[in-house]
């Protein structure tokens, strides 16, 4: 059975459910500062890590793709449920961090109704 994920905008009560395709990854990013002393020695200070999810999605409905694109444009704060099917109360507070619209590729025989793309989420 496929993994089911959910994105929810708590302020407007809009939500989408989706399943990730192959290539789903969770790279953690570390915030660090590199300093060099007068003697030339380099010091690296790691402060904290940021949760990050890179989620490829295939054949997402046009209405959902439009909703995700608008959340990205407005930099909305969202609740992300990584495993909604089995842990429906566990969520992370995230923002969509794509440089461009996550869903801009129409695909399939009904090409104007389905979109492919990748959602990049970062915890805040």
pLDDT band at residue 1, thresholds of 50, 70 and 90? very low
Q: What pLDDT, on a 0 to 100 scale, did the predictor assign at position 27?
A: 67
Q: Which domain holds residue 89?
A: 5-123
* Predicted model pTM: 0.75
Q: How many domains does the chain have?
A: 1
Q: Select from 46, 121, 110 the least CA-distant residue to 82.
A: 121
Mean pLDDT value across residues 76-104: 88
CA–CA dist 53, 32 (Å, integer): 19
């Amino acid at each position: 059975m496929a993994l089911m994920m959910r994105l929810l905008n708590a302020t407007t009560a809009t939500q989408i459910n989706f399943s990730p395709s192959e290539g789903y990854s969770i790279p953690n990013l570390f915030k660090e500062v590199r300093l060099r002393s007068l003697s030339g020695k380099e010091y690296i200070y790691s402060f904290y890590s940021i949760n990050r999810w890179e989620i490829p999605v295939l054949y997402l409905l046009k209405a959902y793709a439009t909703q995700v694109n608008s959340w990205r444009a407005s930099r909305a704060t969202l609740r992300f449920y990584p495993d909604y099917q089995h842990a429906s109360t566990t969520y992370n507070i995230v923002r969509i961090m794509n440089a461009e619209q996550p869903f801009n590729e129409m695909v399939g025989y009904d090409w104007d109704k389905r979109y492919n793309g990748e959602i990049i989420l970062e915890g805040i």
